[in-house]
Amino acid sequence: MADVVVLGAGVSGHTAALHLSRLLPPGNTVTVVSPNSQWNWIPSNIWVGVGKMAKKQVVFPLAPVYRKRGIRFVQAKATAIRPRGDETSERPAVDVEYTAPDKARQTERIRYDYLVNATGPQLRFHATPGLGPDGGHTVSVCTADHAVEAAAALRDTIERLKAGQSQTLVVGMGHGTCTCEGAAFEYVFNVDHELREAGVRDRARLVFLTNEAELGDFGVDGMVFEERGFQTTSELWAGSLFRERDVQAILGAHVSRVEPGVVHYETLDGASHTLDFDFAMLLPPFGGVQLKAFDRDGADITEHLFAPSGFMKVDADYTPKPYDEWRAEDWPKTYQAVGYDNIWAVGIAFAPPHQISRPRKSANGTVIAPSPPRTGMPSGVMGKVAAMSIADRIKHGTSAPNHEASMAAMGAACVASVGEGLRTGSAAAMTMMPVVPDYQRFPTGRDLADTRGEVGLAGHWVKLMLHYLFLYKAKALPGWQLIPE
């Protein structure tokens, strides 16, 4: 019998835990450790952030779901991994920290036979002085609570516009190394929709501030679409939306600090700029959650398991080399940790081997380039694959081969909504195959048959359907496992 511990209950960790509960024979245990008591369907935070959905529509409590599935839930923060055990036992363990009923901080050491690290990102608002909703001067949609605050700030801005005051609204990335450009892209057009619905768009200046060197990069080096024999780029495709909606784009920008009502940023040419704002939603860069790792004798081995970013090193090729020499096969396939055959890191928790978008620095040496996205559909697939690998090892022995799900062989879909109504909503829908471009197999890096971009009401219906479908799946309701990741 084996004990499996999953760190994190986001898309990747929650998916892994549900599949483990389904695949493992009786007698084996699954434990989920997460500081969050609720599951959040993060893509719909966009709608919460403009007031079209309430927080309760995008979250639900985890404990009842895990209780129903026979999963132990520990609401705590993982602080350290001991992959070789400790002075009292050779069994590997995880240290966790939680708040006891008397408000005192307590620690616990949880033993495991197999570990899935799905801790997700640390929201590094602190990387940019003045960034973020907690002590900063900008709002966010990274969590459901952040999105509620963003909606309130947007309402106040719209009221000022209705009173005849001109306003500048800034949406985008709060640091040169941010990821999730697609979320900012989606939010800026939802804000545009709200301003038009309120009849105040003519008094609002709407600015998209991004670290992308070109529109439509999205952290994946852009895409090429083919329609009726003609090819177009995601840069032209996205640019047409910005022109149609009168959204001003500032490209290749690194936000260095935010003061009340003023964004300070640097561009790729090395020039420094300021941008006055009345409302700003700027996303933070991501980092690992800074788990420590210790050998059995207590020696710190963190640097052996984790990259300097805090993300866990897995079966990727991390050999330093120029960007043009990287290949699709350098990306991980199994997500097993380096040197340990019983640890996996999935979703945002694993360390990418290199940029997908071309890395760039400003004339001053500042890195201004999107980090690789690892959210949404790929995260769910990774979680399921890790669960399947662990289940096979438990059922068939440790020689059972790992299942694979390389982002260089995996497709992804992104549906960016523009408004929430069934009749008035719209969406920019994009699919790509694969996520990591493979220029050895495809001249454009991706299969043109499965890489597409469309705008319309049908895409919005898909986005709304996915909202309810994935909440149903995450609640482990009857037939949940039949819904694809």
Which of 3.30.360.10, 3.40.1010.10, 3.50.50.60, 3.40.640.10 would CATH assign to domain 3-35+76-121+288-363+372-396?
3.50.50.60
For 76-103, the pLDDT digits (tens) are: 999 999 999 999 999 999 999 988 777 6
What is the CATH topology of the domain spanning 123-286+411-482? FAD/NAD(P)-binding domain (3.50.50)
Residue 453: what pLDDT?
83
For 180-196, the pLDDT digits (tens) are: 899 999 999 999 999 99
The Cα–Cα gap between 433 and 438 comes to: 9
CB 102 within 8 A of CB 62: no
Residue 412: what pLDDT?
85
Residue 425 has pLDDT above 70, yes or no: no
Amino acid at 98: Y
* Residue 345 in tokens: 């890191």
Residue 420 has pLDDT above 60, yes or no: no
How many residues are there in the chain?
485
Enclosing H/E stretch for 432: strand 426-432
Q: Which residue has the higher pLDDT, 411 or 428?
A: 411
- pLDDT bin (cut points 50, 70, 90) of residue 318 is very high
CB 97 within 8 A of CB 110: no
Region 362-366 average pLDDT: 97
Q: What is the pTM of this model?
A: 0.94
Cβ atoms within 10 A of the Cβ of 326, count?
A: 17
Residue 172 has pLDDT above 60, yes or no: yes
Residue 173 has pLDDT above 70, yes or no: yes
The Cα–Cα gap between 460 and 318 comes to: 39
Enclosing H/E stretch for 344: strand 343-345
Residues 6+ apart with CB under 8 A from 56: none
* Residue 213 in tokens: 């060197």
Cβ atoms within 10 A of the Cβ of 51, count?
A: 18
Region 214-236 average pLDDT: 91
Name beta bridge partners: 81: 94, 293
For residue 186, CA distances in Å to 61, 157, 433 come to: 27, 19, 21
For 251-310, the pLDDT digits (tens) are: 999 999 999 999 999 999 999 999 999 999 999 999 999 899 999 999 999 999 999 999
Residue 326 has pLDDT above 80, yes or no: yes
For 390-402, the pLDDT digits (tens) are: 999 999 998 999 9
Residue 215: what pLDDT?
96
Residue whose C-alpha is closest to residue 360's, from 210, 207, 170, 196: 210
Beta strands in 138-235 (DSSP E): 167-173, 204-209, 224-227, 230-233
123-286+411-482 and 3-35+76-121+288-363+372-396 share a CATH fold: yes
Residue whose C-alpha is closest to residue 20's, from 91, 63, 70, 62: 70
The Cα–Cα gap between 2 and 390 comes to: 10
For 33-46, the pLDDT digits (tens) are: 999 999 999 999 99
The Cα–Cα gap between 178 and 306 comes to: 20
Domain range annotation of the chain: 3-35+76-121+288-363+372-396, 123-286+411-482
Residue 320 has pLDDT above 70, yes or no: yes
CA atoms within 13 A on the CB side of 16: 34
* Dihedral sign (CA 33, 38, 41, 44): negative
Cβ atoms within 10 A of the Cβ of 372, count?
A: 20
